[in-house]
């Protein structure tokens, strides 16, 4: 059974993770530099651009959640999101930082772990992990 998680790792562990997954065409691997994400708008812009999210209102959290529980256009078997410099990520907006993590924890990761089977016709659970690096 798949268990999707948010995992804190070291920079050394990140090297191993990148060596294992970064070039695997079946894995969508995205690194975010926490130093450049100051607020929800920065995060939404980054995710929309790098995940090619086809959204009309990029700052809608509901739309973000809808697309993050679709991702069909990426055609990946597994998703890995790495937030480097996590301590710097939204450091002046800790409430928004917590909301981003809660969206992963309560909506996105459980969806890909199991809910996809009952919500999507022919839905297949997929590994989706978020790595926090400092």
CA 29 to chain CA centroid, Å, is 9
Tell me if 119 is assigned to some domain. Answer: yes
1 domain residue, yes or no: no
Query: Would 101 be classed as within a structural domain?
Result: yes
**β-bridge mates for residue 8, sequence order:** 132
Q: How far apart are the first and last CA of the chain?
A: 29
In a domain, 51, yes or no: yes
CB atoms within 10 A of CB 97: 20
Average pLDDT, the chain: 94
Range of the structural domain that residue 114 is part of = 6-133
Token pair, residue 118, equals: 């009952």
- Residue 19 resides in a domain: yes
Number of domains in the chain: 1
> Does 80 reside within a domain?
yes
Report the C-alpha gap between 11 and 23 in whole angstroms.
18
Residue 49 burial (C-beta neighbours within 10 Å; 0-12, 13-18, 19+): exposed
* N residues, the chain: 134
Q: What is the CATH number of the domain that holds 32?
A: 3.30.370.10
Residue 59 within a domain:
yes
Q: Are 20 and 33 a contacting pair, CB within 8 Å?
A: no
* Residue 25 located in a structural domain: yes
Per-residue pLDDT of 38-63, as tens digits, reads 999 999 999 999 999 887 788 999 99
Read off the pLDDT of residues 117-129 as tens digits, 9 standing for 90 and up: 998 877 899 999 9
Cβ–Cβ under 8 Å, residues 26 and 79: no
**pTM of the predicted model as reported, rounded to 2 decimal places:** 0.94
């Amino acid at each position: 059974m798949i268990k999707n998680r948010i995992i804190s790792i070291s920079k050394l562990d990140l090297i191993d993770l990148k060596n294992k997954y970064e070039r695997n065409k079946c894995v969508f691997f995205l690194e975010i530099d926490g130093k450049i994400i100051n607020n929800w708008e920065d995060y939404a812009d980054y995710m929309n651009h790098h995940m090619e999210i086809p959204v009309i209102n990029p700052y809608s959290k509901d739309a973000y959640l809808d697309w993050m529980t679709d991702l069909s256009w990426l055609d990946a078997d597994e998703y890995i999101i790495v937030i480097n410099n996590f301590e710097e990520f939204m450091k002046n907006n800790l409430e928004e930082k917590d909301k981003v993590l809660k969206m992963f924890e309560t909506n996105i990761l459980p969806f890909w772990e199991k809910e996809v089977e009952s919500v999507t016709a022919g839905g297949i659970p997929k590994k989706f992990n978020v790595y926090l690096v400092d």
